[in-house]
């Protein structure tokens, strides 16, 4: 199994945006130091996130690191001009020495949809059309194309040409079959959000992906799945882990109440039992990931890159424990294919 650390760059008023961006870069450097396989930056265009420009953030991380793969999580092609998105990411591909991978998706949030004049009626069509053009721009030196949502192209050239030809693109999936079907159609990997709900709806979408994968004529052995987690904290004993993490979980419940959101999991114990949250001893976390793997068949998993309410020491200690005692077992128990470029 391979492991990514991902951030959506949630920001509050306790620190400046400058400090928050520096923390993200520092966490990426730490992830490489500890042995994570990838680091991802989300894309959001509304409060409380300041992750509106992943290629800029990832370019800075590329300059501070040398080995770790760099992911977007997700690139919201439904909001973007595919030509401009291609130019940004082809440039980043060179600056990172070919360490870039994309996770694309429709994106969430009414505010950002209004900002870019995207409607519920056209968002999926925009996502599919945008990816079709983006994919062609990455592969073809000259592109002739027409669609609904941007001006047509005739023998268009885009520069720079990318370093990775082609780049691997994952499709982020949360609740709907559209992203799943798009991934299967193009023979691309799927990354399940696996954050908000119990295991069943995510497992159903992954099953659908594998079914559609075969329907579109791909070899079942080539299907590739990743999955997220709803939170992480490991300690030597489950009692210590729960005691430390409970105030963080309770703060999350308080925020839900303030926003008028009914939580899916009303207590930390319920979340540990039924959600993808990883809180407990190393062995408990290993057992839980293996249980999820039996249902998902996933080879890649993400943890939150941010401290998420933990102290700096608690955050680092938990990540060090993950890499020392959890990751080695999961890497052995769950074989995974190399990342592009021969990365094991």
pLDDT given at position 342: 58
Distance CA 96, CA 91 (A): 9
pLDDT given at position 213: 98
Q: What is the average pLDDT across 3-17? A: 94
pTM: 0.96
Distance CA 270, CA 239 (A): 15
> Residues 315, 319, 322, 323: what is their CA dihedral angle, to the nearest 10 degrees?
-160
Q: What is the average pLDDT across 153-159? A: 98
Q: What is the pLDDT of residues 217-272, one digit of tens each?
A: 999 999 999 999 999 999 999 999 999 999 999 999 998 998 899 999 999 999 99
Q: What is the pLDDT of residues 170-226, one digit of tens each?
A: 999 998 999 999 999 999 999 999 999 999 999 999 999 999 999 999 999 999 999
Q: Is the pLDDT of residue 156 over 80?
A: yes
pLDDT given at position 113: 81
Q: Is the pLDDT of residue 343 over 80?
A: no
pLDDT given at position 125: 96
pLDDT given at position 12: 86
Q: Is the pLDDT of residue 144 over 80?
A: yes
Q: Are 246 and 253 in contact (CB under 8 A)?
A: no
pLDDT given at position 236: 96
Banded model confidence at residue 4, pLDDT cuts 50, 70, 90: very high
Q: What is the pLDDT of residues 36-79, one digit of tens each?
A: 999 999 999 998 999 999 999 999 999 999 999 999 999 999 99
Q: What is the DSSP string of 232-288?
A: EEE-SSHHHHHHHHHHHHHHHHHHHHHHTPPPS-SSHHHHHHHSS-EEE-HHHHHHH
Banded model confidence at residue 114, pLDDT cuts 50, 70, 90: confident
Q: Is the pLDDT of residue 299 over 60?
A: yes
pLDDT given at position 112: 80
Distance CA 173, CA 201 (A): 11
Q: What is the average pLDDT across 303-320? A: 96
Q: What is the DSSP string of 175-235?
A: S-HHHHHHHHHHT--EEE---SS-HHHHHHHHHHHHHHHHHTT--GGG--EEE--S-EEE-
Mean pLDDT of the chain: 96
């Amino acid at each position: 199994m391979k492991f990514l650390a991902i951030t959506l760059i949630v920001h509050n008023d306790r620190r400046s945006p400058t400090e928050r961006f520096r923390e993200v870069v520092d966490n990426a450097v730490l992830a490489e130091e500890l042995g994570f396989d990838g680091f991802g930056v989300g894309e959001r265009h509304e409060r409380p996130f300041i992750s509106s420009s992943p290629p800029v953030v990832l370019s800075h991380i590329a300059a501070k690191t040398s080995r770790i793969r760099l992911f977007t999580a997700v690139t919201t092609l439904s909001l973007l001009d595919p030509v401009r998105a291609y130019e940004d990411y082809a440039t980043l591909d060179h600056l990172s020495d070919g360490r870039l991978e994309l996770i694309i998706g429709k994106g969430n949030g009414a505010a950002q949809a209004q900002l870019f004049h995207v409607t519920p009626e056209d968002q999926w069509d925009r996502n599919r059309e945008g990816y079709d053009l983006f994919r062609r721009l990455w592969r073809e030196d000259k592109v002739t194309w027409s669609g609904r949502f941007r001006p047509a192209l005739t023998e268009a050239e885009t520069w720079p040409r990318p370093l990775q030809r082609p780049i691997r693109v994952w499709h982020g999936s949360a609740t709907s079959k559209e992203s799943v079907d798009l991934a299967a159609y193009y023979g691309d990997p799927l990354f399940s959000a696996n954050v908000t709900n119990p295991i069943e709806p995510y497992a159903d979408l992954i099953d659908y992906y594998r079914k559609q994968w075969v329907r579109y004529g791909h070899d079942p052995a080539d299907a590739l799945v990743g999955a997220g987690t709803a939170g992480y904290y490991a300690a030597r004993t489950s009692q210590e882990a729960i005691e430390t993490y409970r105030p963080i979980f309770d703060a999350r419940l308080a925020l839900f109440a303030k926003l008028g959101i009914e939580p899916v999991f009303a207590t930390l114990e319920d979340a540990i039992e039924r959600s993808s949250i990883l809180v407990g001893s190393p062995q408990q976390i290993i057992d839980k990931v293996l249980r999820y793997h039996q249902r998902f068949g996933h080879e890649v998993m993400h943890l939150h890159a941010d401290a998420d309410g933990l102290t700096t020491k608690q955050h680092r200690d938990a990540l060090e424990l993950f890499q020392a005692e959890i990751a080695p077992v999961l890497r052995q128990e769950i074989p995974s294919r190399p990342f592009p470029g021969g990365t094991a």
